[in-house]
Amino acid sequence: MPRKGRTSQVLVSAAIFIVLEVAAIAMLHSSSVLQDIWLNRASHRVAGWIWGGGSRIAGYFKLDSRNKMLQEENARLSEELRKYRELEKSEEYLSRAHSVDDGFDYIFAHIVKMGTKSQRNYIILDKGLLDGVGPDCGIVTSEGVIGVIDAADEHIAYGRTLMNPSMHVSVRIGRDGVAGPLSWNGRGSRGAVLSGIPLGYKAEVGDTLWTSGYSAIFPAEIPVGIVMGSSTRSGAAQDVEVELLQDFNALDYVTVVRNRNLGAIEVLEQSTEEGQL
């Protein structure tokens, strides 16, 4: 083949090669752009899934925390409701039972602190002298006698509870039965004993004990406990086993009872003892 024809063929081949290279480069560029777009989209989807999953997981744990908070709040509100219902019940009962002026003032108080684990248990209330609470005031609920105030300052009062061997309450078996001193038996928060009941008197299991009204500290006819049995003591009297109506481990609010005539009664008693009457 002549040299001139061979040169022309080489030039044509070179031109074709260049065109194909340019086309390949263009396609590669276009393909890279598409790949970038696909990769970007894919990475965005993966990132979105990861962030979304993380958000859902965090939300799950936050939901568990919120549920716990709601449960705690519900329990707190239920306890508050129970306390207010007890207080309302106590107020309603005492106001109804003593609707006629019996010479007592009734002051509702909250327990600040109370002992139930020792042999000489005490109680501290959030009411004091400025509220009309002072020494020799009684402490009661609608379900029994709680104790007596021994000392008070302007805002706080301290007293002994019935779960103290030095505390005695005059009670009556039934509304018309015999009366005697009731005291804690030293066992548990609801055990008590009524002492000195005549052997001839039959105390029936299930009979209700009421405050007798013989004390100047407590008004009459506050229910105190239930007869659980009896036993003979020294062959001369019987002790009546009592279950207190009020569980001392379940106390929040109490009522302080103040005898407005206590001062006059004490003066009268003192005058009688000194032979001035």
Q: Going by CATH, does the domain composed of 104-273 fall within 1.20.1260.10? A: no
Q: Which of 207, 218, 205, 124 is nearest to 168 (CA)?
A: 218
Token representation of residue 140 = 């009661």
Interatomic CA distance for residues 147 and 142, integer angstroms: 13
Q: Could you give the 3-state DSSP secondary structure of residue 179? A: strand
Q: Which of 232, 238, 217 is nearest to 167 (CA)?
A: 217
Q: What is the per-residue pLDDT for 46? A: 47
pLDDT digits (tens, 9 = 90+) for 23-81: 554 554 455 555 555 445 555 554 555 555 555 555 555 556 666 666 655 655 555 55
Contact predicate 179/203, CB 8 Å: no
DSSP state of 213: S
Interatomic CA distance for residues 195 and 176, integer angstroms: 17
Query: What confidence tier does 225 reach under pLDDT thresholds 50, 70, 90?
Result: very high
Interatomic CA distance for residues 116 and 105, integer angstroms: 27
This model's pTM is above 0.75 = no
Contact predicate 149/259, CB 8 Å: no
Query: What confidence tier does 133 reach under pLDDT thresholds 50, 70, 90?
Result: very high
Q: What is the per-residue pLDDT for 29? A: 47
